[in-house]
Chain A
Amino acid sequence: AQKVTQAQTEISVVEKEDVTLDCVYETRDTTYYLFWYKQPPSGELVFLIRRNSFDEQNEISGRYSWNFQKSTSSFNFTITASQVVDSAVYFCALSEADSNYQLIWGAGTKLIIKP
């Protein structure tokens, strides 16, 4: 079974629209960590956020915001007023004791922002 599910393979929106990328995870551990990484066309993976399982407070960083809900095992990522530079593949990842804290990756969501 998939431990990290990013059901949206590709999303395409017009610049300035808001967009939400979904991430659903599965774990039996009570202590775990969730991450979002951005991979632009140039290839590097850019760390965006880490959230531990004891901190359900939502976070906002500029145009980016994250909604962590343990009740639904989701860690969704919203970009407000999207820009062309946001075009990238976004990966959600889980780190848990059961997997020796190695990153378990979702399949990624390709986000296309059209001008």
Chain B
Amino acid sequence: DAMVIQNPRYQVTQFGKPVTLSCSQTLNHNVMYWYQQKSSQAPKLLFHYYDKDFNNEADTPDNFQSRRPNTSFCFLDIRSPGLGDAAMYLCATSRERAGTRFQPQHFGDGTRLSIL
């Protein structure tokens, strides 16, 4: 059974039209991550939540926002998508963030975003 669930699998939006991608988890993990992955590249971390504590990567554009209303759900909001934002967006979770108890990140299937 899927433990990190991303919806939708494919999303098409128009240039400049806000879009929201969703992620849910059944693992009860403390940490949830959002990555952007462009074709033939490694995933790039956008931000993560440790419980309700939001941590933004320094080079994440302001166009990208996130919400975590509860432990199970996390959303990625792209306020004004540009053509360069077309990518696969991956959600991941881990039990803990750092230290000797560090757990591997478990990934969802991803949402492939296209911009028209």
Do A47 and B109 touch across chains, with their CB atoms under 8 A apart?
no
B95 within 8 A of A: no
0/1 string, A17-50, CB within 8 A of B gives 1: 0000000000000010101010000111111001
With A95-B102, A101-B99, A103-B105 already in contact, the answer to whether A44 and B42 are too (CB < 8 A) is no
B45 within 8 A of A: yes
Do A107 and B104 touch across chains, with their CB atoms under 8 A apart?
no
Do B42 and A47 touch across chains, with their CB atoms under 8 A apart?
no
Distance between A21 CB and nearest chain B CB, rounded to angstroms: 14
Do A33 and B110 touch across chains, with their CB atoms under 8 A apart?
no
B81 within 8 A of A: no
Most buried by A among B41, B42, B90, B112: B42
Distance between B58 CB and nearest chain A CB, rounded to angstroms: 12
Residues of chain B contacted by A107 (CB below 8 angstroms): 41-42
Do B45 and A103 touch across chains, with their CB atoms under 8 A apart?
yes
Do B107 and A45 touch across chains, with their CB atoms under 8 A apart?
yes
B-contacting residues, A39-91, CB 8 Å: 42-47, 50, 91
Q: Which of B42, B104, B108 contacts A50 (CB 8 A)?
A: B104
Q: Which single residue of chain B is at the shortest CB-CB distance from A50?
A: B104
Residues of chain A contacted by B108 (CB below 8 angstroms): 44
Pairs of residues from A and B, 9 with the lowest C-beta to C-beta distance, nearest first: A105-B42, A101-B98, A45-B107, A44-B109, A43-B110, A47-B104, A50-B104, A108-B42, A107-B42
